[in-house]
Amino acid sequence: MRRSHFLLAVLLSFSLLETAMIAQPSRSSQITNKVVRVEGVVDAPVSEVWRVFTTSNGAQEFFAQKANIHLALGGPYEIQFDPKDERSGTKGLKILSYASQEMISFQWNAPPEMPNVRNGGTWVVVTMTPVNPHQTKVTIEHLGWKEGPEWDEAYGHFVEGWGGLMDRLKRRFSDGPINWAKESMMYQKAKH
């Protein structure tokens, strides 16, 4: 992806989030320079990586058991981590921007136990760059971090979470779709 496209997408994402945050009073301080950044090379062509990040069926192969994604500006980007508890997912969150087979950005939240972060207006940018016809470099960046103890806790949560997602993405293409009857999600690990 060209750097100018990436910067335009990030600026557009920030502008949309800034507009949303103006309408809601903020209990936290200003946005920091923190970024959760995870990179990896996936053994799949960029078209397949694009498919799993931008379709409901594709996301269900590695992201979580249930997804509702409609690829359109403002379309839903809803990932349901616990099918029995709607609060564990991203219901109501939207796609902010995308460039076909290059990048997608979407709103993100946090677990219900972190209400300030959950309602804090963070977002994610996923970029996909072909390494060769059979491999893709994937970069996941989680932005919009603020200051405070809850934000620090959430940051650590997502360093682990996005790292785990990258591992599942790689396994999806090496071993096939994730078997959710055997795979533990973060929310399941935390409750045991």
**Separation between Cα atoms, residue 131 and residue 81, nearest integer Å:** 30
- Could you report the per-residue pLDDT of 127-173, keeping only the tens digit for each? 999 999 999 999 999 999 999 999 999 999 999 999 999 999 999 99
Distances in whole angstroms, Cα of residue 31 to Cα of each of 18, 20, 49, 85, 104 = 10, 14, 30, 30, 21
- What would the mean pLDDT of 16-24 be, rounded to a whole number? 41
16-20, 62-66, 179-183 — which is least confidently predicted?
16-20
What is the architecture of the domain spanning 3-187? 2-Layer Sandwich (3.30)
- What would the mean pLDDT of 5-20 be, rounded to a whole number? 47
Average confidence score pLDDT of the chain: 85
- Could you report the per-residue pLDDT of 36-90, keeping only the tens digit for each? 999 999 999 999 999 999 999 999 999 999 999 999 999 999 999 887 888 888 9
Kindly report the pTM of this predicted structure.
0.82
Q: Where are the domains of the chain?
A: 3-187
